[in-house]
Amino acid sequence: MKTALQGLKVLDFTQMMTGPFATMMLGDCGADVIKVEQPEGDPFRRSGETTLNGDGAFFLGVNRNKRGIVLDLKTEAGQAAARALAAEADVLVENFRPGFTERVGIGYEALRELNPRLVYCSISGFDRNGPDRNRPALDMIIQAISGVMQVTGTEESGPLKTGFPFSDLVTALLAAIGMLTALQARERTGEGQRVDLSMLDASIFSQVPRDVYFDLTAKTPLRMGNQHWDIVPNNTYATSDGRDIMIITINDKFWQVLCDALDAPELKTDERFATKAARLANRDLVNERLAAIFATRDLDAWEARLSAAGAIYGAVRTWPEVFSDRHVVDKLLKTLPHPKGGEFRIVNNPLTFSATPTRIDRSPPMLGEHNDEVLTRQGGTWPAPTQ
């Protein structure tokens, strides 16, 4: 089976969440990813209270489709092995503290002399040339500093983190785009380059289009929970069986569709609700009326009515509901074995290609699992993977 990145050689020195997620996506598309760990291993192997045969759930979630080796970069032998692999790699990815790679002889300038075609991706928490370059950075810290936390939650709750590692994942997505862009440029120029990205910059970038709103108004967007500053209704409402349903009416047309589904034609002509401007001016009253109506029926009844009417809605599903959904089970979930026994399910790559589909053919590696395969090379060539 052909894959889009088949033959691409990726040397992955990253750990924790951001870098491993980025390289996992390259691996899903067929790249040969060699994950290089220090002797103590990626900290994510021991992170969290849930493990399988000693490996943390977080580690298992972002390290499939990789071969794993151990190199001690504090030793001359480890540094020499790293340089030998980098000399033939297409991509090198690292998220060490700024300055570390230079100290151990695998900085960009040194490796560019060995391999001018190398795409060298550095991921940091803060600008690696700025005053905070040596500060430790974790997802929630970056959410706080970037302003993401400031606009999440409600006025009553105060600033909240998102329910998933937003800064980690958005940085990983942008890093993957950056590496692929640099590889495309290499096709034209024949030369690699450095791709540099910080979690802070990626998180601030992700807040478009609110950046323009702030520039034009000098106002910080309000924390509005499930509501929207320019759309009413845009909120969740409780049903009679204690479930919640998300309702959005982006214009007057969909307000009328919603009113039909609610069997409340009087709301279409009530001057307090009939237009977008009126609904914005009477936000609390709109929410009060809709809350009373949705409380009269259970979720199933409302879903049937809203679907038939063509309304914009979505039930707030529980995780058991999401992961037992037939589409999710059939298309998105895949079971992988752990090398030491047992198995676990992961979410498959959602990208679908007609000619070069993604694949998952390797479980996350045990610590140093492929040292013999990778490091006992003959003639200095990049080691071909064994299946």
- Give the C-alpha separation, 306 to 359, whole Å: 38
Mind listing the pLDDT tens digit for each residue in 228-262? 989 999 999 999 999 999 999 999 999 999 999 99
Ramachandran angles phi, psi of 107, nearest 5°:
-70, 165
Give the pLDDT score at 260.
Answer: 97
Could you tell me which of 223, 87, 94, 201 has the C-alpha nearest to residue 149? 223
Mind listing the pLDDT tens digit for each residue in 20-36? 999 999 999 999 999 99
Quote the mean pLDDT of the chain. 95
Mind listing the pLDDT tens digit for each residue in 67-117? 999 999 999 999 999 999 999 999 999 999 999 999 999 999 999 999 999
What topology is assigned to 234-238+244-315 in CATH? formyl-coa transferase, domain 3 (3.30.1540)
Active-site entry in 168, 244, 284, 372: 168
Angle CA 339–44–318, to nearest 5? 90
- Give the C-alpha separation, 248 to 240, whole Å: 20
105-115: b or e for each residue (b if 16 or more CB lie within 10 Å)?
bbbbeebbeeb
- Give the C-alpha separation, 47 to 268, whole Å: 54
3-state secondary structure of 247: strand
- What's CA 145's distance to the chain center, in Å? 19
Mind listing the pLDDT tens digit for each residue in 271-315? 999 999 999 999 999 999 999 999 999 999 999 999 999 999 999
- What's CA 10's distance to the chain center, in Å? 20
> Residue 196 — very low, low, confident or very high, per pLDDT cuts 50/70/90?
very high
Q: Where are the domains of the chain?
A: 9-207+325-375, 234-238+244-315
Strands 66-70 and 55-56: unpaired
> Residue 194 is encoded by which pair of tokens?
């450095």
Identical fold for domains 9-207+325-375 and 234-238+244-315, yes or no, is no
pTM: 0.94
* Residue 168: active-site member: yes
Q: Which parts of the chain are beta strand (E)?
A: 9-12, 32-37, 51-52, 55-56, 66-70, 91-94, 119-124, 153-154, 158-159, 194-198, 234-238, 244-248, 313-315, 333-337, 343-347
Top CATH class of 9-207+325-375 equals: alpha beta
How is 28-84 classified by DSSP, letter by letter?
A: HTT-EEEEEE-TT--GGGG-SS-EETTEEHHHHHS--SEEEEE--TTSHHHHHHHHH
- Give the C-alpha separation, 386 to 119, whole Å: 25
Q: Which residues contact 215 (CB under 8 A, 6 or more apart)?
A: none
Q: Is the pLDDT of residue 38 over 70?
A: yes
Say if residues 3 and 358 touch (Cβ distance below 8 Å).
yes
Ramachandran angles phi, psi of 256, nearest 5°:
-65, -40
Could you tell me which of 13, 56, 24 has the C-alpha nearest to residue 172? 24
The amino acid sitting at 223 is R
- Give the C-alpha separation, 351 to 373, whole Å: 30
Give the pLDDT score at 268.
Answer: 95
Number of Cβ atoms within 10 Å of the Cβ of 193: 20
Phi-psi region of 51 (alpha: psi -120 to 50; beta: other; left: phi over 0): beta
